[in-house]
Chains A and B, each alone.
Chain A
Amino acid sequence: QKEVEQDPGPLSVPEGAIVSLNCTYSNSAFQYFMWYRQYSRKGPELLMYTYSSGNKEDGRFTAQVDKSSKYISLFIRDSQPSDSATYLCAMKERGGSNYKLTFGKGTLLTVNP
């Protein structure tokens, strides 16, 4: 079992739809959770950064963390064609000076106008 599982998709939705992206993980030491958006031929862009269970909202984006179920989600409301990209979940353990990110494989999202 991989440490982080993420459905690669592809996921195709109409403009205005609510998008739900998910990752599960097996390492209970993961304490920090991130969502990155990566456009084609670009580096990942940080969207959300959370470290506690519950919801965190930023504009049209909501990150949800359920540590008891080892499950994280990213919701995109009123999706736009410009949201079309690959979304990567990432997580890391607490402590240590070099603690590394563990990434999911990424979900390719297409929002159709």
Chain B
Amino acid sequence: GAVVSQHPSWVICKSGTSVKIECRSLDFQATTMFWYRQFPKQSLMLMATSNEGSKATYEQGVEKDKFLINHASLTLSTLTVTSAHPEDSSFYICSARQGTGGPQHFGDGTRLSIL
């Protein structure tokens, strides 16, 4: 149980392109979803927290107009990197939590490469 699916797993695109990443909880309803960014050999850095039907809460230093988050249903959240540039290249990982308690379950991440 507690499977989180993230798609795509890898995307390469040109600078200036917008990229959408999907995060789905497959066998549970996720009240809250989280988006992280991870650089090589570093730990996860929280970008934003989203509750279903509400606006996302962004961490300090994360541009909300750059990283658009939509959590339209209890099983789907999307992260759109708008007008991506090479410095946005990274490993993006989502997680989902059922209810207000309990652990977070992570997707397998999306490797984003901007040329």
Interface of A, secondary structure class, is loop
Cβ distance A35 to chain B, nearest Cβ, rounded Å: 10
Instruction: Pick out which of these stretches binds chain B: A13-21, A64-72, A73-81, A94-102.
Output: A94-102
* Given the contacts A88-B43, A97-B100, A98-B57, A41 and B111 also touching, CB distance less than 8 Å: yes
Given contacts A42-B109, A43-B93, A43-B109, A101 and B104 within 8 Å (CB-CB):
yes
Chain A contact-residue range equals 20 to 34
Cβ A103 vs Cβ B44 within 8 A: yes
Q: When chains A and B are docked, how far (Å) is the Cα of A103 from the Cα of B4?
A: 19
The interface residues of chain A lying within 8 Å CB-to-CB of B46 are 100-101
A42 and B108 form a contact (CB under 8 A):
yes
Q: Which of A42, A43, A49, A106 contacts B43 (CB 8 A)?
A: A106
B7 within 8 A of A: no
Q: B106: CB under 8 A from chain A? A: yes
Give bound CA distance, A41 to B53, whole Å. 31
Chain A 18-42 interface residues, beta-carbon cutoff 8 Å to B: 32, 34, 36, 41-42
B32 within 8 A of A: yes
**Size bracket of the B interface:** 20 to 34
Q: Are A34's CB and B108's CB within 8 A?
A: no
Does A56 sit within 8 A of B, measured CB to CB? Answer: no
Judged by a CB distance under 8 angstroms, whether B105 is at the interface is: yes
When the two chains form their complex, are residues A36 and B42 in contact, meaning their CB atoms are under 8 A apart? no
Q: Which one of B42, B95, B100, B105 lies within 8 Å of A105 (CB-CB)? A: B42
Identity of the chain A residue whose Cβ is nearest the Cβ of B44 in the assembled complex = A103
Residue of B with least CB distance to A32:
B103
Query: Does A44 touch B at the CB level, under 8 Å?
Result: yes
- Give the docked Cα–Cα distance between A88 and B57 (Å): 24
Give chain B residues whose Cβ lies under 8 Å from the Cβ of A98. 32, 49, 51, 57
Distance in angstroms from A106 CB to nearest chain B CB is 5
8 A-B pairs (CB sep. < 8 Å): A34-B103, A41-B111, A46-B103, A46-B105, A88-B43, A97-B51, A100-B34, A100-B49
Residues of A within 8 A of B (CB): 8, 32, 34, 36, 41-46, 49, 88, 97-98, 100-101, 103-106
